[in-house]
Structure 1
Amino acid sequence: MYLMIKNLHMTLAMLSILGFIIRGPLAIRQHAIMQQKLLRILPHIVDTFLLLAAIYLAWTLSLHPFNSGWILAKVIGLVVYIGLCTLVIKRRGSIMQQWLTYGAAIAVFGYIIAVAISKNPWLVG
């Protein structure tokens, strides 16, 4: 069961970032397709199941942010990522600020993935 949930978690993480990579520029350009109900609801469904899978995995391994620095780093990264994504999707700031925020969100997601792989919040040695 653990391996199945871990694979589900990784798949949902990729779907989440791919969805943002597609929706970000559409939101910045204020494309009409962003008003489609599916594009407004589906990311929340994917992200909810992603979070539930993460909670299950952490619970199964007895990991929590206060006994595992890399889990804490992922949780902080997730909060930052959500904040940046929200700024992009809700079109906050100038076009240039939105593009910079879009890039920052993708970079933070990359950090979260790197921490997950290395199990090291500092990504060194």
Structure 2
Amino acid sequence: MLYLYIKHLHVTAAVVSIVLFIIRACWSVKGSPLLQSGFARIAPHIIDTILLLAGIYLASVLGWHQPWIAAKIVGLVLYILVGTLAIKRGKTPTSRTVAAIVAVVIFLYIVGVAMTKQPMSWLA
């Protein structure tokens, strides 16, 4: 029963996380001062911490030896790296836009891995 609650928490946190990422990426591309607001700086860290902790719990229950879990972890690392380009480190609005699009595609890959339980994600 606890597993299902944590799984729903994980999925909910993932949805909120990507929505906040897209909003922040748009603000970054536009150069909006809203990106520096307290909410925009703190909320994503809280949501992403919940997402990560729930993911660690779920992976520990299912077993770390699963190839699809390794694929999700690799995808997560790539998502974080590209996401920092989209929001902070991209030098131009164009580079931040491209990075944001790539980050969303990586996120969709991770979702596909989670849903199919296959490292090839939607292509499996």
TM range (shorter): over 0.9
Residues 85 and 99 of structure 2 are in contact (CA less than 8 Å); yes or no, is this contact kept in structure 1?
yes
Q: Which amino acid in the other structure matches residue 57 of structure 2? A: Y
Residue 114 of structure 2 is matched in structure 1 by 116
Q: How many residue pairs align between the two structures?
A: 122
Distance in 2, matches of 1:8 and 1:78, equals 18
**Is the 2:24–2:35 Cα contact (8 Å) retained in structure 1?**
yes
Partners of 1:103 and 1:78 in 2: how far apart? 15
Match of 1:93 in 2: 91
Runs of 4+ in 1 over 3 A off after TM superposition: none
1:11 equivalenced with 2:12 (yes/no): yes
| Residue 79 (structure 1) aligns with | 77
1:85–1:105 Cα contact (<8 Å) kept: yes
Q: What percentage of residue pairs aligned between the two structures are identical?
A: 43
The normalised TM-score by structure 2 is 0.93
How far apart in 2 are the matches of 1:23 and 1:2?
Answer: 31
Alpha-carbon contact 1:81-1:109 (below 8 Å) kept: yes
Structure having the higher helix fraction is 2
TM-score normalised per structure 1: 0.93
How far is the alpha carbon of 1:94 from its aligned partner?
Answer: 2.2
1:31 aligns with 2:32: yes
Work out the CA distance in 2 between the residues paired with 1:36 and 1:94: 21
- In 2, the alpha carbon distance for the partners of 1:99 and 1:33 equals 17
How much has 1:92 moved relative to structure 2?
Answer: 1.6
Unaligned runs of 5+ in 2: none
Match of 2:3 in 1: 2
- Structure 1's unaligned 5+ residue stretches are none
The one-letter code matched in structure 1 to 2:114 is: A
SS in 2 for 1:90: helix
